[in-house]
Amino acid sequence: MEIEIREKIREFITENINDPDAPGVFNDDENIFKMGLVNSLFAMKLLNYVESEFKVEVTYDDMEIENFTTVNNILNFVREKRL
């Protein structure tokens, strides 16, 4: 199950990379915002995706950017919300 969630997150990020010259490969611990792969507008799109795809509610208190900067952070967030 976690592998499927991880792959869906990676696919979503990859499909939304803004810069065609950006590196196509990133590891699950790399900060996608600091790498410049995505911009701040992507953050809202990502929040909506996480809520709809994984059936979790992102509350105001959850909206710390650190929860969404890496594939692993997003995976951990989804895992915690589903408990």
Domain 2-82 indexed as CATH 2.60.40.1180: no
Domain boundaries, the chain: 2-82
Q: Nearest-CA neighbor of 12 among 43, 56, 55, 58?
A: 43
CA–CA separation, 54 and 81 (whole Å): 10
Give 19-58 pLDDT, tens digit per residue.
666 656 789 999 999 988 888 889 999 999 999 999 999 9
Per the model's pLDDT, the better-predicted residue between 15 and 51 turns out to be 51
How far is residue 8 CA from its own chain's centroid?
Answer: 9
Tell me the one-letter amino acid at 18: N
Residue 83 has a pLDDT of 81
Residue 20 has a pLDDT of 67
Summarize the confidence of residues 9-24 as an average pLDDT: 80
Give 58-69 pLDDT, tens digit per residue.
999 999 999 999
